[in-house]
């Protein structure tokens, strides 16, 4: 440790049965650091341990290596995001409104957490590991598109294919905003409405 650095805070031993609380603290700290770093490879287990206030060996009790820790953090992040997307959908009155709410919430989440977005979708971890938990994001969009079709608010088609095209468009739109923050771009809400009209052929895009 650098001689000028303040000593890391020390954390008392967890009472018996509180190991999951420590694991949760480690994951939460990792998510915050990943959001700041925007790069999983810039994260170190020692830095995480220092932030939590524990010895580095305590991290290894729960996670074999950095990839295992980042994987667990992204899994938790995605589970929370899916829950919040479902809640955003439930506030709308009709299938098109629910699909639009889902996409708008995703855009807002990326705006607020650009670092997590980059790690979740653009990191080298995606090349080294299959992040199976991300499939829940695709499943949710496909189901939302299918509901529009079933209600006659979009023409019948293969919902998975349409949803994939829609997700590709939205991810492209938010990725540009994350990676080129100073670029002048149209409002994301307007883009999403155009995607819904052109790619899903929805009958209406409620405001």
The CATH number of whichever domain residue 44 belongs to comes to 1.10.10
CA 149 – CA 159 distance, rounded (Å)? 8
At 110 the three-state DSSP class reads helix
Based on its alpha-carbon atoms, the radius of gyration of the chain, rounded to whole angstroms, reads 20
Predicted confidence at residue 132, as pLDDT, reads 94
At 48 the three-state DSSP class reads helix
DSSP state of 64: S
178 located within any domain: yes
Predicted confidence at residue 205, as pLDDT, reads 63
Predicted confidence at residue 18, as pLDDT, reads 66
Judge whether 44 and 34 are in contact, CB under 8 Å: no
CA 149 – CA 8 distance, rounded (Å)? 56
Same domain? For 147 and 91 the reply is: yes
Predicted confidence at residue 1, as pLDDT, reads 39
Judge whether 149 and 156 are in contact, CB under 8 Å: yes
| Closest among 45, 159, 156, 144 to 104, alpha carbons compared | 144
Residue 71 has pLDDT above 80, yes or no: yes
111 located within any domain: yes
Residue 147 has pLDDT above 60, yes or no: yes
Number of domains the chain contains: 2
Distance, first Cα to last Cα, the chain = 54
14 located within any domain: no
Same domain? For 108 and 146 the reply is: yes
Same domain? For 120 and 31 the reply is: no
pLDDT mean over 47-58: 96
9 located within any domain: no
Residue 11 has pLDDT above 50, yes or no: no
Predicted confidence at residue 2, as pLDDT, reads 41
pTM of the model: 0.87
In the chain, what are the helix, strand and coil shares in percent, each to the nearest 5? 70, 0, 30
Residue 43 has pLDDT above 90, yes or no: yes
Same domain? For 77 and 59 the reply is: no
CA 92 – CA 83 distance, rounded (Å)? 15
DSSP state of 15: P
Residue 145 has pLDDT above 50, yes or no: yes
Domain of 187 in residue numbering reads as 67-200
Same domain? For 139 and 175 the reply is: yes
């Amino acid at each position: 440790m650098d001689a000028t650095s303040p000593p890391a805070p020390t954390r008392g031993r967890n009472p018996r049965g509180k190991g999951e609380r420590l694991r949760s603290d480690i994951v939460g700290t990792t998510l915050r650091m990943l959001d700041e770093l925007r790069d999983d490879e810039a994260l170190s287990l020692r830095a995480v341990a220092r932030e939590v206030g524990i010895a580095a060996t305590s991290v290894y009790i729960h996670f074999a290596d950095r990839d295992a820790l980042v994987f667990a953090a992204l899994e938790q992040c995605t589970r929370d995001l899916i829950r919040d997307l479902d809640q955003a959908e439930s506030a709308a009155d009709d299938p098109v409104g629910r699909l639009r709410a889902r996409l708008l919430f995703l855009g807002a989440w990326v705006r607020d957490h650009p670092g997590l977005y980059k790690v979740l979708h653009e990191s080298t971890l995606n090349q080294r590991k299959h992040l199976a938990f991300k499939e829940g994001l695709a499943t949710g969009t496909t189901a939302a598109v299918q509901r529009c079709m079933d209600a006659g608010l979009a023409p019948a088609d293969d919902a998975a294919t349409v949803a994939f095209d829609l997700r590709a468009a939205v991810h492209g739109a938010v990725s540009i905003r994350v990676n080129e923050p100073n670029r002048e771009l149209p409002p994301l809400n307007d883009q999403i409405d155009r995607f819904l009209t052109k790619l899903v052929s929805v009958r209406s895009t409620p405001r």
